[in-house]
Amino acid sequence: MTQEYSAEIEDGRDTALIQRAYRNLLKCMPAPLNKEDKHNIRAAFELAAKAHQQQRRKSGEPYILHPIEVARICVEEIGLGPTAVVCALLHDVVEDTEVTLKEIHAQFGERVALIVDGLTKLDSLHDSESPQAENLTKVLRTMLSDVRVVLIKMADRLHNLRTIKSMAHHKQIKIAAETSSIYAPLAHRLGLYKIKTEFQDICLKISHPDEYHDIAEKLAQTKRAREQYIETFKQPLQKALEEQLGSGVRIIGRPKSIYSIWNKIRTKQVDFEDIYDLFAIRIILDVPPEREKMICWQAYAVVTDFYTPIPERLKDWITNPKANGYTSLHTSVMGPQGRYVEVQIRTERMDEIAERGFAAHWKYKGIRRMRNDTDVFDNWLNQVRDTLENVGAANAVEVLINLQSDLFSDEVHVFTPKGEMRILPEGATALDFAFSIHSDVGCTCRAVRVNNRIERISYVLKNGDQIQVITDKNQRPAEDWLNFVISSKARNRIRSALKEEKRQLAALGREILERKLNNMHKCPVEENADMLAKWYGYHNRLEFFSAIALEQVDMSGLKSFRPDGQRLVEIEGEKAPIPHENEPKPADGNLPAKPLKHQVNKADVFINGEPGTYYAYSFATCCNPVQGDPIFAYVTANKEGVKIHRTTCPNAPFLLANYEYRVMKAEWGATVKADFIAAILVTGIDAGPGVIQQITDRISGLGINIRSFSITGEGGYFEGRISLVVANTHQLNQAILALKSFKFVANVSRME
Ligand code: MN
């Protein structure tokens, strides 16, 4: 009885909660809805609410709150309209409930059905090498017919991240890795800056919690001082701008995201203190579209009347917008107290596009067309379409990796001999340029003329270069071309050309082998090829056949092959080593290592909640986990079984994002005396010959063994790499702290 009663109360509470969320969604729709839209949204809500009725999210909330919130994000944070709201409400219905796509088509029509289909994950997840990648390729394909698919997907991901706390930790790191390698760059490319920043911050919080909280705390501590400074900086500007431009002016301090600070600290090797006083402000002007450019430059003139500009920091993204549609005028000036301040000048329209990307871009589309105002989004979509078409049925991981390189990069602007502008990713070479013209031009590219000087095809493009391609019909793509092209189009074309060549070569090699086997042993190629390939040390028969055609294989060794027992005998002399596939390389190769077996009692790692001994697990050598480190288990593709990685392993984001289904949860068991290898990096001032002795003494004094120690010094500085044998992270931290206490030591860190 009591149970039923409380269930009823809960039901009542849920209903109120759901109704409130739905009303709130309707309230945030900007324009008054027409009758049809109103009806469709209501119908979608009712259908979804009914279909998800029995489901709850991990947090315990009724499931329907998720699609409602996704719809709200679509409207308020991305700027989408009623159709997107209908689709967002329905986005999980086909995947998770009884409702079929057919029913959705019947009730809401073709367009909604198409979008919802694009949002529905692939059915046969387990058949695929990399479901995440294939899932994304599907999204991208559908995006080409309706870009709202990918925008709703972004909203879905954003809400899942915002509520990620209720997920298990190992799932959190999976989702974070996938988000930072796929969704964040995609958001960047779609111009969704705000969402990209939030993605990155949440991911950082999950993958590097200590560093995240450290920066967040320091930001909070310095908040007041920074705000005061910005106030002083902008006071004279506000008045002068309003007077001289006669238009509305907003000046806002622009807080840097925790991720961007973290990234700077890491890539530039500086401390928080060195960057926290890099101030940034944004001046936003309310002007009609036709006067935008002129007014922005006038504002620039006003700013530089008050503060001295740094000329090389001036960037005019108004005349030449970025490939993702971003327009703005950037500069840096010297502010009060001799501090640099970054200044962005833009209009309200530019600001909205910069913050909300694609959807906002649509809103302004057609308002005006400036010279040079090619549709950047259309360009990008064409690029994606091109990539997808050219890889055909090839594997999705490759598509993804290639797209990622385009997604991440900034760009370089160059010109054809006729003065046409081409935008390529930063770091692109003359060969990328040739492929961007046409794939035949790329494949036969022999040299280039850059600003009238002959250069090699590996020449790295600079902004403003004018380039003419010199072709030669006898030229063929070569393997090493892959080392210096970076655009996905060029990579894909070169790969498929090479593959075709390899296939022809392999066919020839196969024929040669067939003849030999026939003459020597009278046995068929088919049954023996794999065994022979392995024996000779090749990955697969294709490579083996190619090597035969290239005369790289010593065929005389075939004599010792005995066809009768299906078993091969050893060739005299050294057997070629069989290279391992998929094994991440150690991040640092210079540690001379005495062999040391992990002596962990095998039950001490739990994999998926079961004793690790059920799995043939071992510790990954790329990150050398130590008892106490956050870890996960990864099922390798070869026969090496399960590997334990640290969650901060440099290979982790790639593994998690692309082989998510091979990842399992791993935890440390009870403490047992065990030996782990951990590498640390010590830098400092070279205080003379006693340094090594002092360091080794201090560590040995803690009862910790040193496995190897190498030290290099230059100009009074030294850098030491110490490989330790420790029992757990506690002991490791002890060693790090002990070394930090030396006066001559500047920094001690664990090597990833
Ligand atoms: Mn969802």
Q: How far is the CA of 181 from the centre of ligand 1 (A)?
A: 19
Query: What confidence score (pLDDT) does residue 639 get?
Result: 60
Query: What confidence score (pLDDT) does residue 298 get?
Result: 93
Residues whose CB falls within 8 Å of the CB of residue 508, separated by 6 or more in sequence, listed in order: 545, 549
Q: How far is the CA of 195 from the centre of ligand 1 (A)?
A: 16
Q: How far is the CA of 121 from the centre of ligand 1 (A)?
A: 10
- pLDDT confidence tier of residue 590, bands split at 50, 70 and 90: very low
For 16-69, give the DSSP string. Answer: HHHHHHHHHHHHT-SSPPPHHHHHHHHHHHHHHHHHTTT-B-TTSSBTTHHHHH
- pLDDT confidence tier of residue 381, bands split at 50, 70 and 90: low
Please, how many CA atoms are within 13 Å of residue 537, restricted to the half-sphere of its CB? 12
pLDDT at 597 over 50: no
CB atoms within 10 A of CB 266: 11
Task: Give the Cα separation of 648 and 316 in Å (integer).
Answer: 38
Q: How far is the CA of 67 from the centre of ligand 1 (A)?
A: 6
Q: How far is the CA of 88 from the centre of ligand 1 (A)?
A: 8
Contact 70, 64 (CB under 8 A): no
Q: How far is the CA of 249 from the centre of ligand 1 (A)?
A: 39
Task: Give the Cα separation of 342 and 76 in Å (integer).
Answer: 28
Task: Give the Cα separation of 351 and 367 in Å (integer).
Answer: 16
Report the SS3 class of residue 243. Answer: helix
Query: What confidence score (pLDDT) does residue 268 get?
Result: 76
Q: How far is the CA of 96 from the centre of ligand 1 (A)?
A: 10
Per DSSP, which regions of 686-730 are E strands? Answer: 705-714, 717-726
H helices within 334-394, ranges in order?
348-356, 358-364, 376-391
pLDDT at 490 over 70: yes
Task: Determine the average pLDDT of the residues in 428-434.
Answer: 94
Quick: pLDDT tens for 457-476. 999 998 778 899 998 888 88
**386 is an active site residue:** no
Q: How far is the CA of 92 from the centre of ligand 1 (A)?
A: 5
Q: How far is the CA of 95 from the centre of ligand 1 (A)?
A: 9
Q: How far is the CA of 156 from the centre of ligand 1 (A)?
A: 5
Task: Give the Cα separation of 68 and 87 in Å (integer).
Answer: 11
Total-model pTM? 0.59
Per annotation, catalytic residue among 95, 274, 500, 554: 95
Backbone φ and ψ of 309, nearest 5°? -80, 160
- Does the CA dihedral 79-81-82-85 come out positive or negative? negative
Task: Give the Cα separation of 44 and 87 in Å (integer).
Answer: 8
- Give the environment of ion ligand 1: residues with CB less than 5 A: 92, 156
Q: How far is the CA of 395 from the centre of ligand 1 (A)?
A: 26
Per annotation, catalytic residue among 14, 96, 348, 386: 96
Give the CATH fold of the 216-371 domain. Answer: Beta Polymerase; domain 2 (3.30.460)
Task: Determine the average pLDDT of the residues in 63-74.
Answer: 95
pLDDT at 581 over 60: no
Cα angle: 120, vertex 386, 178; to 5 degrees: 45
Closest residue by Cα to residue 287 from 356, 243, 346, 364:
346
Instruction: Give the residues across from 424 on adjacent strands.
Output: 412
Percent of the chain clearing pLDDT 90 (strictly above):
21
> CATH homologous superfamily of domain 3-167?
Hypothetical protein af1432 (1.10.3210.10)
Give the CATH fold of the 676-750 domain. Answer: Alpha-Beta Plaits (3.30.70)
Q: How far is the CA of 142 from the centre of ligand 1 (A)?
A: 17
577 vs 733, which has greater pLDDT? 733
> CATH homologous superfamily of domain 410-486?
Beta-grasp domain (3.10.20.30)
Which strands, in side-by-side order, build the sheet including 453-455?
A: 453-455, 445-450, 467-471
pLDDT at 313 over 90: no
Ranges of each domain in the chain: 3-167, 216-371, 375-408, 410-486, 495-564, 590-668, 676-750
CB atoms within 10 A of CB 348: 14
Quick: pLDDT tens for 614-641. 777 888 877 888 888 888 888 776 666 7
Percent of the chain clearing pLDDT 70 (strictly above):
79
Closest residue by Cα to residue 198 from 179, 178, 211:
179
- pLDDT confidence tier of residue 608, bands split at 50, 70 and 90: confident
- pLDDT confidence tier of residue 132, bands split at 50, 70 and 90: low
For 110-131, give the DSSP string. Answer: HHHHHHHHHHSPPS-GGGSS-H
**95 is an active site residue:** yes
